[in-house]
Chain A
Amino acid sequence: MTAGAVRERRSTEVPATADAARDHRRREALVTALGYAAMVAVLVTVALPLYWIVMTSFKDRPDIYTLPVTWWPGTFHPENYAEATTSVPFWTFLRNSVIITGVLSAVKFTLGVLSAYGLVFLRFPGKNFVFLGIIAALMVPNQITVISNYALVAEWGWRNSFHGIIVPLAGVAFGTFLMRNHFLSIPTEIIEAARMDGAGHARLLWRVVLPVSGPTMVAFAIITVVTEWNEYLWPFLMADDASVAPLPIGLTQLQNNDGLTDWGPVMAGTVLTMLPILAVFLVLQRHMIKGLTSGAVKG
């Protein structure tokens, strides 16, 4: 795009010398070549470990513990997947992950949209101060709050339960920020028109505001789902056994099952843990990236 624009300008208005034009073309060609080289390098960096993980998940023991390393399994050993899903209650972990991620995402999404609506469309003295109070929570690492929260939740008898995992994580700062930014960008005329028609808050939200907020809501939803699916420390502290532990915690059990790690089944379990979220990501990545960058660019 840059190159095209410059070249066009040169040919039409700037009577550059032939030498300068050649230099410029040479530089552009070099930079393009560098771009492709960087693409290849980064693709290898990302893909090679993933390839290694997937291949190991299909290798039999002798293929794993051998030198030089085998890049292609001698015999495919899908039994690793059977072992990963039976030696630990894998499907229970998966169910727990789905429950925790599902409920938590739904709650956070609702709270985020409603908070943002209130902060933008309602009258309240000092509401910018309230907003500041909400987004400042982004600066407080969860890891610092676990001691006191653990003591509180244990006192309530909520340990090793879904609500004990879900409720303390349900406050939403980033999503409120994201939705508020979007609501502020909705043209005033649309809101005015709805008001002329006598719409109340419920109708304004459902019929006017939400229908023009699709992409931002998708971004908010996917970022939340990814974050909660990967949540580790809090469920790790809360869950005592397989009944409520989500996948990332269950995976560690696979690893610690016996003294020596058997990498075949562990890698199979890892692949199974990665797959659902990668699938969601591949379908909705455009929205996720847009959500993250809009927060950054306006932040």
Chain B
Amino acid sequence: MRSSPERTLPSPGKQGFLGRPWRDYALFAALVGPNLVLLVLFTYRPLVDNIRLSFFDWNIADPAATFVGLGNYREWWSRPDTWQIVGNTVVFTTATVVGSMVAGLALAVLLDRKLNGRNLVRSAIFAPFVISGAAIGVAFQFVFDPRFGLIQDLLHRVGVDSVPDFYQDPHWALVMVTVTYMWKNLGYTFVIYLAALQGTRRELAEAAEIDGASGWTTFRRVVLPQLRPTTYFLSITVMLGSLQVFDIINVMTRGGPLGTGTTTMVYQVYNESFRNFRAGYGATVATIMFLVLLGITVYQVRIMDRGDGR
């Protein structure tokens, strides 16, 4: 991280005298303190507390908790639903991260030129990003309705007669929530990539084309490397966002069908803690999830640093 350039007001008069800096310190505490306290109390404290809770068998409505050591972790490792839920999480996250980044980049590249109505399209793509996920989830249930919905109609029109049952088939239900989330999120990657493209050095791409490089080669060798910081930024933020999706799953499928058909780890945290009243087990899943997340983020940041150094 860059250190901030010096912008502070130099103390007038007696430099180094304690009186002035102390007043600065107090003011700093008054300005930054409340925010810091809130973040420590409601973000960092529960993070640590989760680890403690993961060693207990605990009903969230009951103050008494039983210490079970690594029991929750052992249970997590050996439970049959664990790997389906991890699988759901990996599929959902990978599909939304890769899908929305590739689609967003492709769109941004195609629209990065003078086209009539481009601003209108940009607003249209971005609009779903600001709509509540719960509202989108509710509405898209009927869009995907296997009997009377929009999707089944479109599928019939292109000659697909046996429309998948998005409500009952766990695999298609996962497809449904994934597509719904991508629809909501596509505008974000698109807008960020479009802004990044406008900051690339065009003369490099032009020079490559004049030298006879094909469009694809120019894109891969000249444009894409310049977008690398944006790509890393997006891969981290989109992944964090996808891993947190709760509203869409809760309103569309409640984690089902067949129990855990669309349950991701975040949904499992909620389900175990607040519906099965096993908050200790929920905290275990949350802790495992956070450790994985931390590992991935650290790995991505390290790649990013190396990429910049080249």
Interface residues of A (CB under 8 A from B): 1-6, 9, 14, 24, 27, 31-32, 34-36, 38-39, 42-43, 45-49, 52-53, 56, 64-69, 111-112, 114-115, 117-124, 127-128, 130-134, 137-152, 167-173, 176, 180, 183-184, 186, 188, 191, 195, 201, 204, 226, 229-230, 232-233, 236-237, 247-249, 251-252, 255, 261, 263, 266-267, 269-270, 273-274, 277-278, 281-282, 285, 288-289, 292-293, 296-297, 299
Q: Is the CB of B36 within 8 A of A130?
A: yes
Partner of B35, one of A111, A128, A233, A270: A111
Name the prevailing secondary structure of the A interface residues: helix
Cα-based distance from A118 to B34 in the complex (angstroms):
12
Q: Which of B89-139 contact A (CB under 8 A)?
A: 106-107, 110-111, 113-115, 117-118, 121-128, 130-135, 138-139
Within 8 Å of chain A (Cβ to Cβ): is B174? no
Q: Is the CB of A145 within 8 A of B43?
A: yes
Cα-based distance from A124 to B124 in the complex (angstroms):
45
Distance of B145 from chain A, by nearest CB (Å): 8
Q: Is the CB of A285 within 8 A of B125?
A: no
Contacts A48-B150, A119-B32 hold; do A14 and B210 have CB atoms under 8 A apart? yes
Q: How large is the interface on B (under 10, 10 to 19, 20 to 34, 35 or more residues)?
A: 35 or more
**Chain A residues near B127 (CB, 8 Å)?**
46, 278, 281
Partner of A299, one of B47, B132, B153, B233: B233
Within 8 Å of chain A (Cβ to Cβ): is B176? no
Partner of B148, one of A14, A65, A169, A233: A65
**Chain A residues near B286 (CB, 8 Å)?**
143-144, 147
Q: Is the CB of B125 within 8 A of A46?
A: yes
Residue of A nearest to B298 (CB): A139
Q: Which of B38, B123, B135, B283 has the most CB of A within 10 A?
A: B135
**Chain B residues near A65 (CB, 8 Å)?**
148
**Chain A residues near B113 (CB, 8 Å)?**
1-3, 31-32, 35
Within 8 Å of chain A (Cβ to Cβ): is B31? yes
Q: Which of A64, A67, A171, A201 has the most CB of B within 10 A?
A: A171
Partner of A137, one of B43, B110, B273: B43
Residue of A nearest to B290 (CB): A144
**Chain B residues near A122 (CB, 8 Å)?**
8, 24, 27-28, 31
Within 8 Å of chain A (Cβ to Cβ): is B44? yes
Cα-based distance from A69 to B24 in the complex (angstroms):
68
Cα-based distance from A185 to B117 in the complex (angstroms):
33
Q: Is the CB of B132 within 8 A of A229?
A: yes
Q: Is the CB of A39 within 8 A of B150?
A: no
Name 10 interchain pairs, CB-CB below 8 A, sorted by A. Answer: A1-B202, A69-B149, A118-B28, A137-B44, A142-B244, A144-B286, A168-B38, A184-B7, A289-B195, A297-B230
Within 8 Å of chain A (Cβ to Cβ): is B307? no
Cα-based distance from A168 to B41 in the complex (angstroms):
8
Within 8 Å of chain A (Cβ to Cβ): is B240? yes
Partner of A204, one of B9, B114, B133, B134: B9
Within 8 Å of chain A (Cβ to Cβ): is B199? yes
Q: Which of B119-176 contact A (CB under 8 A)?
A: 121-128, 130-135, 138-143, 147-150, 153, 156
Q: Is the CB of B9 within 8 A of A115?
A: no
Q: Is the CB of A170 within 8 A of B38?
A: yes
Distance of B272 from chain A, by nearest CB (Å): 9
Cα-based distance from A93 to B55 in the complex (angstroms):
39
Shortest Cβ-Cβ A-B pairs, 6 listed: A118-B31, A148-B46, A171-B38, A248-B134, A145-B46, A293-B195
**Chain A residues near B210 (CB, 8 Å)?**
6, 9, 14
Distance of A236 from chain B, by nearest CB (Å): 8
Q: Which of B36, B41, B274 has the most CB of A within 10 A?
A: B36
Cα-based distance from A128 to B32 in the complex (angstroms):
12
Residue of B nearest to A183 (CB): B7
Q: Is the CB of A147 within 8 A of B282?
A: yes
Distance of A26 from chain B, by nearest CB (Å): 12
**Chain A residues near B299 (CB, 8 Å)?**
none
Q: Is the CB of B126 within 8 A of A69?
A: no
Contacts A124-B25, A145-B47, A232-B246 hold; do A46 and B128 have CB atoms under 8 A apart? yes
Partner of A248, one of B34, B141, B247: B247
**Chain B residues near A134 (CB, 8 Å)?**
32, 35-36, 39
Cα-based distance from A137 to B47 in the complex (angstroms):
10
Q: Is the CB of B42 within 8 A of A149?
A: yes
**Chain B residues near A296 (CB, 8 Å)?**
192, 195-196, 230, 233-234, 237
Within 8 Å of chain A (Cβ to Cβ): is B302? no
Contacts A46-B127, A251-B134 hold; do A6 and B209 have CB atoms under 8 A apart? yes
Cα-based distance from A299 to B25 in the complex (angstroms):
28
Q: Which of B233-291 contact A (CB under 8 A)?
A: 233-234, 237, 240, 243-244, 246-247, 250-251, 266, 269-270, 273-274, 279, 282-283, 286, 289-290
Partner of B1, one of A24, A123, A132: A132
**Chain A residues near B132 (CB, 8 Å)?**
229-230, 232, 247-248, 251, 273-274, 277
Q: Is the CB of A171 within 8 A of B43?
A: yes
Distance of A170 from chain B, by nearest CB (Å): 5
Q: Is the CB of A39 within 8 A of B118?
A: yes
**Chain B residues near A138 (CB, 8 Å)?**
240
Contacts A69-B150, A124-B28 hold; do A6 and B206 have CB atoms under 8 A apart? yes
